[in-house]
Amino acid sequence: MAEKKYESKDIVVLEGLDAVRLRPGMYIGTTSSRGFHHILWEIVDNSIDEISNGYGDTIKITLNKDGSATVEDNGRGIPVDIHPTLKKSGVEVVYTTLHAGGKFNNENYKFSGGLHGVGASVTNALSKWCKVTVNKNGKKYFMEFHSYEDEKGKMHSGVPVAPLREIGTSTTTGTSVTFLPDPKVFGDQKFSFEAISRRARELAFLNKGLKIELYDENTGEDEKFHYEGGISDFALYLVENKNCLFKNPIYFSAESKILFLEVSFIYTDSYTENTFSFVNNIPTTEGGMHETGFKNAFTKAFNNYARANNFLKEKEPNLLGEDFREGITVIINVKMNNVQFEGQTKTKLGNLEAKTEVENLTLQELSKILDDKKNATIAEIIINKAKQAAKVRLAAKKAKELTRAKANAENFNLVGKLAASTSRNREKNELFIVEGDSAGGSAKQGRDRSFQAILPLRGKPLNAEKKRVDQVLANEEIRTIISALDTGFGEDFDLSSLRYNKVIILSDADQDGAHIRAILLTFFFRYMRPLITDGHVFIGLPPLYKVYKKDYEKYVYSDAELADAVKSVGKGYMIQRYKGLGEMNPEQLWETTMDPEKRTLIQVTIEDAAEAEKLITTLMGDAIEERKIYISEHANFDKEDNFMKEYKNI
């Protein structure tokens, strides 16, 4: 075969923003809902950067009837003068040039979330049109961009319709941006008021005094967020459905040459730690150096205090960090320059110097707080809780050792329960956690044993939200899951030991099945969270119905699909309702729920760790009244009846 020549003419040069349009995933991660909303947050983040650096105090977000969104702030306004080398206005440079912005030195923005300088230009590139209005220097300026396909089929992304022009006078300052996400990129997606509201609330918490106003023209919904207490209000918001051990959160802030740190924490009578960290308003869900520095200093400060005040005797060992953090809800908010996030997703802080700075500042400020006699009662509450946690930890250690010993004895704990797969390829292997022996039997017979393992649950696992760690480990079903996954759990969790790339929860489509899913997800969230954050947890969707007649059958996976299926089959049809997995024979279970070519899986992700924490507390915790309120507001109890009426009318 003749070698194909590779010459300079073969190199494709993408002009302007065309690279963004060709490979949007490189810039926004995905074109699904997360990426769709990402281009809104790129604009909001620019406004946040203005305000967090001391310019302005209000951001208005409007979801317009035509599907576009408007973000308006009262900051300084994007520069409108001509760039000295590019010979274009500042607005045109910012919206048409990748890696252009005022954030690559520390003169205009000491702290910035949009470090890569691609935010505004990427939003423009992925929009059908984008309109920018700037109020600055007593004048009002306007510029519009659009994306279009020319007569040769070539796509042009984010092209200026005309140069920046002056359109009037203004007595205010700030920037207003309206953009319409391009359906050619995102399909027919719409902005979610709920999702935007969650993030807007978080930003308002993280920026004390910031006002964010959100309005949806389509529904009339509106929200206003403004928290003078900042992250202390955030901590109280997260624990409002829990029993707090003292009334007001502890708060401190401090600044060094390279970063600003603020921390707020409060304790509840729960048994788990909840740490939420942020860098320049970006959630660092995987933690990083700032979390490590804080935890080191926190442990040291409390051990020092415990010894100095005779809570720990001379021969007693120091308490561990996990002991001191049992029941804590803590917000760590860092703002710094020259941030280095690990990975494309900006979820882990990699700056080694941040560890040292945060550790020093935390030890300094926390020692002052503990030395203040008015805080003596709170310090005693925390230390006593930590000492009790240490006792439980030692009991749990014995339980862990027992679980590990059983697992090492050729999976003694799994004999007769786990139907293992024959393959050792962890990237391909799947574990189905199945509700009940009956369904487990069908799954074992119907599976592809080369890569699919089956673990039937013979009883309900324990609700990890309400129990101590030693009580959780005493539950046979929980121990079985830990042994099957082979990762350990809690502080000892090791994702590299995971035996299965996919962990699939397979339960009945009824109340008990939903409860089992909730219990398992709560356990994973509390003690094996990387399973979720790394994308290994899935929910299997068995069919709800089979619509059939003599020469036709169709499995239906939702009530919404049933009406369409009935229409397509015509008269003389029958409907079989599957109330449980055990009602399906092995062939049906494989065909509908387990066959990778045909099945539907829901991947479990954490969009917002703080909101996930609050929701799990509400639904799985002890606050019965709050749970009733949530259910009454969000559950549609008439759903099935309404659908059944619809079927009867077909």
- CA–CA separation, 578 vs 555, rounded Å? 10
State mean pLDDT over 430-444. 87
Is the alpha carbon torsion for 227, 209, 115, 185 positive or negative? positive
Please say whether the beta carbons of 485 and 528 come within 8 A: yes
In sequence order, the β-bridge partners of residue 222 are 215
Bridge-based pairing state of the strands 58-63 and 211-216: parallel
User: What is the structure's pLDDT at 466?
Assistant: 81
pLDDT band at 505 (very low <50, low <70, confident <90, very high): very high
Angle made by CA atoms 328, 331, 334, in degrees to the nearest 5: 145
pLDDT of 175: 95
State how far the Cα of 646 lies from the Cα of 369, in Å rounded to an integer. Answer: 64
For the question of residue 435 being annotated catalytic, the response is yes
Question: CA-CA distances (angstroms) from residue 491 to 322, 325, 506, 608?
Answer: 8, 12, 27, 22
pLDDT at 404: 55
Neighbours of 530 (CB within 10 A): 15
pLDDT for the residue 583: 81
- Average pLDDT on 30-39 reads 88
pLDDT, average across residues 168-187? 94
User: How sure is the predictor about 23, in pLDDT bands with cuts at 50, 70 and 90?
Assistant: confident
User: pLDDT by residue (tens digit) across 278-314?
Assistant: 998 888 888 899 999 999 999 999 999 999 999 998 8
How confident is the model at residue 649, as a pLDDT? Answer: 34
Residue 437 host element (H or E) = helix 437-446
Q: How does the average pLDDT of the chain come out, rounded?
A: 84
> Per-residue confidence at 644, pLDDT binned at 50, 70, 90?
very low
Confidence tier at 414 by pLDDT (50, 70, 90): low
**488 alpha-carbon distance from chain centroid:** 23
- Residue 60 and residue 71 in contact, taking contact as beta carbons nearer than 8 Å: yes
Question: In angstroms, rounded to a whole number, what is the distance separating the alpha carbons of residues 517 and 602?
Answer: 12
CA angle, 197 then 202 then 206, to 5°: 145
Helix (H) or strand (E) holding 358: helix 352-371
Give the residue from 127, 167, 122 showing the smallest Cα distance to 146. Answer: 127
**335 closest CA partner among 321, 349, 316, 352:** 349
Specify the 3-state DSSP secondary structure of 490: helix
d(CA 272, CA 269): 9
DSSP secondary structure of 623-636 = -HHHHHHHHHHH--
Mean pLDDT of 21-39: 84
| DSSP line for 133-201 | EEEETTEEEEEEEEEEE-TTS-EEEEEESS--EEEEE-SS-EEEEEEEE-HHHHTT----HHHHHHHHH
Give the CA distances from residue 145 to residues 79, 358, 491, in Å, rounded to whole numbers and listed in that order: 17, 43, 51
Residue 639 clears pLDDT 60, i.e. is over it:
no
Tokens of 129: 């049109």
Query: What whole-number percentage of the chain has pLDDT above 90?
Result: 46
CB-CB neighbours of 53 under 10 Å: 16
pLDDT at 5: 38
Q: Is the pLDDT of residue 617 over 90?
A: no
Please give the share of the chain, as a percent, with pLDDT higher than 70. Answer: 88
At residue 643, the pLDDT reads 38
- pLDDT, residue 634, reads 64
- Give the residue, 534 or 227, on which the prediction is more confident: 227
Of the candidates 73, 92, 435, 613, the residue annotated as catalytic is 435
- As given in the structure block, the two tokens for residue 287 are 């933690």
Three-class secondary structure of residue 506 per DSSP: strand
Domains and CATH numbers, the chain: 18-226 (3.30.565.10), 231-391 (3.30.230.10), 409-541 (3.40.50.670), 612-650 (no CATH)
Which residue do the tokens 């900042």 mark? 230
Nearest to 373 by CA among 308, 464, 316: 308
Average pLDDT over residues 358-383: 96
More confident residue, 101 or 149: 149
Mean pLDDT computed over 347-374? 94
The DSSP letter of residue 317 is P
Q: What is the pLDDT of residue 635?
A: 62
CB atoms within 10 A of CB 255: 13
Report residue 244's pLDDT band, with 50, 70 and 90 as the boundaries.
Answer: very high
Separation of alpha carbons 252 and 368, rounded Å: 10
Determine whether 512 is an active site residue: yes
What residues pair up with 263 in beta bridges, in sequence order? 252, 332
Q: How far apart are CA 136 and CA 55, in angstroms?
A: 13
- Give the highest mean pLDDT range of 56-65, 72-81, 310-319, 413-422: 56-65
**Measured distance CA(602)–CA(505) in Å, rounded:** 10
Catalytic residue among 512, 534, 587, 640: 512
Which two tokens mark 74? 């009262």
Please give the pLDDT value at position 50.
Answer: 84
Does residue 3 carry a pLDDT above 50?
A: no
- Residue 123: CB atoms within 10 Å: 28
Residue in 273, 291, 430, 508 annotated catalytic: 508
User: Are the C-beta atoms of residues 505 and 520 closer than 8 Å to each other?
Assistant: yes
Q: Phi-psi category of 67—alpha, beta or left, where left has phi over 0 and alpha has psi -120 to 50?
A: left
pLDDT at 647: 37
| CA distances (Å), origin 389, targets 5, 385, 395 | 69, 6, 10
- Identify the pLDDT of residue 123: 93
pLDDT of residue 152: 84
> What is residue 400's predicted lDDT score, i.e. its pLDDT?
62
Q: How far is CA 218 from CA 118, 141, 215, in A?
A: 30, 28, 9
By residue count, the chain amounts to: 650
Q: What is the rounded distance in angstroms from the CA atom of residue 219 to the CA atom of residue 393?
A: 51
- What's residue 73's pLDDT? 95
289-308 helix and 376-408 helix, angle to the nearest 10 degrees: 120
Which amino acid is residue 444, in one-letter code?
K
Confidence of residue 14 (pLDDT cuts 50, 70, 90): very low
Give per-residue pLDDT as tens, 626-635.
777 767 766 6
Residue 469 has φ and ψ, to the nearest 5°, of -60, -35
Contacts with 513 (C-beta within 8 Å, 6 or more apart), sequence order: 435, 507, 580
Give the lowest-confidence range in 490-494, 619-623, 630-634: 630-634
Q: Mean per-residue pLDDT for 385-414?
A: 67
List pLDDT tens digits, range 564-611. 888 888 788 888 888 778 788 899 899 889 999 988 888 988 877 788
Clarify whether 510 is annotated catalytic.
yes
Is the pLDDT at 650 greater than 50, yes or no? no
Give me the pLDDT at residue 10, please. Answer: 37
633 given a catalytic annotation: no
Whether residue 524 contacts residue 532, with contact meaning beta carbons closer than 8 Å, is answered with yes
Cα–Cα distance, 62 to 213 (Å, whole number)? 8
| pLDDT tens digit sequence for 514-548 | 888 889 999 999 889 889 988 899 998 888 888 88
Q: Which of 255, 510, 534, 564 is catalytic?
A: 510
- Which pLDDT value is given to residue 410? 37
**Cβ 479 vs Cβ 403: under 8 Å:** yes
For the stretch 206-218, pLDDT in tens is 999 899 999 999 9
Higher model confidence: residue 551 or residue 261? 261
* Poorest-pLDDT segment among 85-99, 159-173, 225-239: 85-99
CA-CA distance, 532 to 520, in Å (whole number)?
Answer: 12
Per-residue model confidence (pLDDT) at position 100:
57
Which residues 6+ apart lie within 8 Å of 10 measured at CB? none
Place of tokens 């007595």: 171
pLDDT at site 646 = 37
The whole-number pLDDT of residue 365 equals: 97
Q: Is residue 413's pLDDT more than 60?
A: no
Number of other CB atoms surrounding residue 248 within 10 Å: 13
